[in-house]
Amino acid sequence: MTDHASAPPAIEARDFSFWYGERKTLHEVSIQIAPKAVTAIIGPSGCGKSTFLRCVNRMNDLVVDTRTEGELVVEGRAVYGSGLDLVAHRQRVGMVFQRPNPFPKSIYDNVAYGPALNALVPRRALPEVVERCLRRAALWDEVKDRLQAPATGLSGGQQQRLCIARALANEPSVLLMDEPCSALDPIATLKVEELIFELKQDYTIVIVTHNMQQAARVASRTGFFEAGRLVEMGETQQIFTAPRNERTEAYITGRFG
């Protein structure tokens, strides 16, 4: 029924479970995330949305004593498989965090960080990469005259777009966004949303959001999580207007008010 069904999923989980210590936080999640599209993940606080996202790029490795079961595959590679090159994996799977977290370096150095670190392009090509990514993140016009200024001097919304530019410069194919707009005002939010919409032609984007309208605006498909389980997944339109599961319906109607 969907146009994505034909292409192999960019991210696929099969009965994937995750434990923080003794606590099982994700329960047998099976999900398929289409390539080059925006997929939203919604659900009540604490249901495991961030945990899922942080499994995809193995950010959860930072937490001691965690365990997984089942399969999680990104572009054909098993994320928790023994042969995974973690550095290369994280370069392919970019992440934008809830709080903008630019480095206390210059705007330029922030964007150049990934490509320089991973030696993606020759050093002399960096300025061009920086410009392209800042343009892509709709930030170029605001910062082109002060590339050497500290990134921490930018507004919150600009910082978040800088973080997106920084992620893009790393040439990822997947972009994970964990509530990227929750620290931003409505105008900045709108800019980031436009940007996400723009980026979906080239990137597989997974966005966690508490904002139903935002999910409706940017995502073609939406998954609803509750208590560590994927309750329902479908076309965004369908999830919001005709949810099949009563839990989804209760959440959606509660949130839309």
Partner 1 sequence: MGRFGASFITTSTWDPVAGQFGAWPAIVGTLLTSLLALSMAVPLSLGVAIYLPEFAPGPIRRPVATVIELLAAIPSVVYGLWGIFVLIPFLTTWVYPFLEARLGFLPFFTGPVYGPSVLSASIILTVMIVPFIMSVSREVLLAVPSGQREAALALGATRWEAVSTAIVPYAKSGIIGAVILGLGRALGETMAVTMLIGNRHEVAASLFAPGYTMAAVIANEFADAAGGPIHESALILMALLLFGVTVLVNAIARLMIWRVSLGRGNT
Where on the chain is the footprint of partner 1 (CB under 8 A)? 57, 59, 62, 64, 87-88, 90-91, 94-95, 97, 99, 101-106, 108-109, 112-114, 117-118, 148-150, 163, 166-167, 170
Instruction: Write each residue from 17 to 56 as x if it is in contact with Mg ion (CB under 5 A), else as -, in one continuous string.
Output: ---------------------------------x------
* Residue 97 interaction partner, one of ligand ATP, partner 1, Mg ion, none, beta carbon < 5-8 Å per kind: partner 1
What minimum distance in Å lies between the beta carbon of 25 and Mg ion? 11
Helix, strand, or coil here: 71? strand
From CA 160, how far away is CA 100, in angstroms rounded? 5
Least spacing, CB of residue 138 vs Mg ion, in Å: 25
Q: Of partner 1, Mg ion, ligand ATP, none, which one sits near residue 220, judging by CB under 5 to 8 A according to partner kind?
A: none
Characterize the bridge pairing of strands 77-78 and 93-96.
unpaired
| Beta carbon of residue 166, minimum distance to ligand ATP (angstroms, whole number) | 22
Residue type at position 200: K
Which is closer to ligand ATP, CB of 43 or CB of 234?
43
Q: Does 209 bind ligand ATP (CB under 6 A)?
A: no
Residues with Cβ within 8 Å of residue 146, at least 6 apart in sequence: 107
Q: Which does 119 bind (CB under 5 to 8 A by kind): ligand ATP, Mg ion, partner 1, none?
A: none
Q: Which does 105 bind (CB under 5 to 8 A by kind): partner 1, ligand ATP, Mg ion, none?
A: partner 1
User: In the bound complex, what is the minimum distance in angstroms from residue 47's beta carbon to ligand ATP?
Assistant: 4
The answer to whether 157 and 122 are in contact (CB under 8 A) is no
Encoded tokens for 217: 């605006």
In the complex, minimum distance from the CB of residue 166 to partner 1, in angstroms, rounded to a whole number: 7
Considering only residues 84 to 143 of the shown chain, the ones binding ligand ATP according to CB under 6 A are none
Shortest Å distance, C-beta 181 to ligand ATP: 13
Our CA angle for 135, 140, 142, nearest 5°, is 150
Site string for ligand ATP, 34-63 (x = CB under 6 A): ---------x-xxxxxxx-----------x
Using only the alpha carbons of the chain, give its radius of gyration: 18
Sheet containing strand 38-42, strands side by side? 93-96, 174-178, 204-208, 38-42, 221-226, 229-235
Residue 205 CA to residue 128 CA, distance in Å, equals 24
Residue among 145, 194, 181, 140 nearest 162 (CA): 140
- Euclidean distance between CA atoms 47 and 208, whole angstroms: 11
